[in-house]
Chain A
Amino acid sequence: MFFRFIAERLFHMAIVMWLVATLVFFIFRVLPGDPAQLVLGLEPSRASLEALREQMGLNRPLFVQYTDWLWRVAQGDLGLSISQGNRAVASLIFPALWRTLELAAIGILIGLLVSIPLGILAARRAGTWVDQVTRLFALAGFSLPSYWLAILLMLAFSYQWNLLPAGGYVAPNEDFGRHLRHLVLPSITVGVVMAAVLTRFMRSGMLEVLRLDYVRTAHAKGLSPANVVYRHALRNAMIPFITVVGINFGALIGGMVVTEQVFAWPGLGWLIIQSITVRSYAVVQGAVLITAALFVTINLIVDLLYAFIDPRVSYG
């Protein structure tokens, strides 16, 4: 049963990925402007323009270009970026993806470290001023434009107190200390917004569980309140919470487009914006596709995890 469930989900995932790839291809092919001309500059000779169009495969029928692209993508070949010195698109995307994931992972970690204790606290003190302060924190964080928070942090820590760099990136193998210093402000920006969103869900999840009979039984058995909350209730409250973390991962990657831009953090979002400005189809296509693939994969993992930790979920 479980294997059938996995197989079915994988099949659905493949269909979603194919639809996503198709959408990505056609969106970028109807863009106005001739990619070959953009590569060559303002007044290329007719011959060189024609040669490049031929080389890029732009003279073939659209459907042939589409099937050819799909076939190559399926094999992991994302093409060449001609406007970025004929480099393989994958060689631009994967380092950027890695940098985005690093930022996202630390952001989520900050989010979890803040939201789990805060959400539990708010649920245990539901209706009191503690709960209301948490609610205000969560709503404020949720309403905060991340790029504004980024600017405020920069104003304070970089321009006013001169403690941390205002942006940029240093590779970890180049200088690990400086790498970390560059990571602080962007990851706080990502983490605060994440914490706000997750706190709300932790609170409501916990509140739901604390109302259940088995929790009352645990209290009645004479267990300490902390024991009831952390050993009995928390486990069940975590089930819906994991889904929320997964869903927010996608939103997070989206939100990071702007954060990366502000901090000049050369991740996937930054790469997408850079490539849109130089009209590098291949890179934008590849980056959007990889982002979507990442998101779909995470959803699948969350689904599987959910079925795995909650015995009530049927695999039907």
Chain B
Amino acid sequence: MNKTLRRLLRDWAALVGAGILLLLGVSTVMAPWILPYGFAEVVAFPFEPASAQFWFGTDEIGRDIFTRIIYGARVSLTVGFVSTSIALVGGIPLGLISGYRGGLIDTVLMRLMDMMFAFPAIILALAIIAVLGPNLLNAMIAIGVMQIPLFARLVRGNTLSLKNQDYVQAAIAAGAGMARILTFHILPNTMSAIMVQFTLTFASAVLVEAALSFLGLGVAPPTPSWGAMLDTGRKLITVSPLYSVSAGAAIFVTVLGLNLVGDALRDALDPRMVDA
């Protein structure tokens, strides 16, 4: 068993985080078989209090809140995964080329990244959604695009330090082209850093999606989304406090799970960490 895995298995954060994500993943996939109600199904009067039948009560039109929270994970996890993948696919080549070639191309690309960084993330997303219109796909694009600089900068930094390593110089001397060096010699050695960044970015993407839905710029009803539920719950806070509390808790637990795993992964992959 390798050292990283051994470290992960000894870290409570990794185990708790992985447990949360596993539970969430399984219940989301299995939702239609394990839950008695559908997410758009009206099952009782509005604002039923919490009971054995309706764990978190019912919402403003009588749908089961617990059911909607479980289904809400689908939106959050899909948006998180797809948008982070967009950022990854966009950021890696930019970072590799920028770091490896240096010079003008590096300056131009990094100034562009600076420009994107100059927009607070959610404001850039708001602008993109204002242009494209509010729906799930556009939310994913907006969140993905604004996270590109994170990966571009990370990969660029790693490329800069790796390109002067002896083994890369040897590959150049042996006549390998740029594409070959970047894909086979540099990229594999930045993968661990990318993995950590992916997990942490995934977490923040879930948060941004929820924020956008909260502001009414995410998924359209009746598809359940935690952010939108939190917003509805907020307006009904005096009638049904459990509504917004449970929707927010779902976001919190999911993001915490991702951050726990990301944080543990970072520690486990850090060569300076000494095994106790």
Contacts and interface: CB of A to CB of B under 8 A. Distances in A.
A291 B214 contact: no
Contacts of B256: 139-140, 143
Contacts of B258: 143
Contacts of A12: 111, 114
- Tier of interface size on chain A: 35 or more
Interface stretch (B40-48, B60-68, B91-99, B237-245): B237-245
Contact of B251 (A30, A148, A250): A148
B131 A143 contact: no
A185 to B, nearest CB: 14
Contacts of B117: 250, 295
A16 B111 contact: yes
Contact of B238 (A148, A159, A273, A291): A159
B263 A257 contact: no
A40 B248 CA distance: 40
Interface stretch (B2-10, B122-130, B155-163, B168-176): B122-130
A147 B214 contact: yes
A19 B112 contact: yes
Interface in A141-160: 142-145, 147-148, 151-152, 154-155, 159
B276 A127 contact: yes
Contacts of A254: 120-123
Contacts of B119: 20, 288, 291-292, 295
Interface string A229-261: 000000000000000000000110111011001
Nearest to A166: B237
Contacts of B234: 147, 151, 262
Contacts of A269: 123
Contacts of B139: none
B230 interface: yes
B205 interface: no
Contact of B215 (A16, A261, A292): A261
Interface in B43-89: none
Contacts of A30: 131
Contacts of B276: 127
A164 B103 CA distance: 56
Contacts of B131: 27, 30-31
A171 interface: no
A62 interface: no
Interface residues of B, number: 44
B167 interface: no
B115 A251 contact: no
A163 interface: no
A223 interface: no
A181 interface: no
A135 interface: yes
B211 interface: yes
Contact of A19 (B115, B120, B214): B115
Interface in B231-275: 233-234, 237-238, 241, 244-245, 248-249, 251-252, 255-256, 258-260, 263
B123 A288 contact: yes
Nearest to A296: B118
A278 to B, nearest CB: 12
Contact of A16 (B114, B207, B252): B114
B210 A155 contact: no
Given A147-B230, A254-B121, A142 B259 contact: yes
B203 interface: yes
B13 interface: yes
Contact of A27 (B127, B214, B237, B245): B127
A296 B116 CA distance: 11
Interface in A115-146: 127, 132, 135-136, 139-140, 142-145
A273 to B, nearest CB: 6
A291 B118 CA distance: 8
Given A19-B115, A139-B259, A288 B127 contact: yes
B122 to A, nearest CB: 4
Interface of B: 12-13, 111-112, 114-115, 117-123, 126-128, 130-131, 133, 203, 207, 210-211, 214-215, 230, 233-234, 237-238, 241, 244-245, 248-249, 251-252, 255-256, 258-260, 263, 276
By Cβ-Cβ distance, the 10 closest A-B pairs, closest first, are A254-B120, A148-B248, A143-B256, A143-B255, A292-B118, A254-B122, A19-B115, A253-B120, A145-B251, A27-B127
Given A27-B128, A139-B259, A251-B120, 19 more contacts: A16-B114, A27-B131, A127-B276, A143-B203, A145-B252, A145-B255, A147-B211, A147-B248, A148-B230, A148-B248, A148-B252, A151-B234, A152-B245, A253-B120, A254-B121, A257-B123, A258-B122, A258-B214, A291-B119
5 contacts: A27-B127, A139-B260, A145-B248, A151-B233, A262-B234
Interface of A: 12, 15-16, 19-20, 23-24, 27-28, 30-32, 127, 132, 135-136, 139-140, 142-145, 147-148, 151-152, 154-155, 159, 250-251, 253-255, 257-258, 261-262, 269, 272-273, 276, 284, 288, 291-292, 295-296, 299
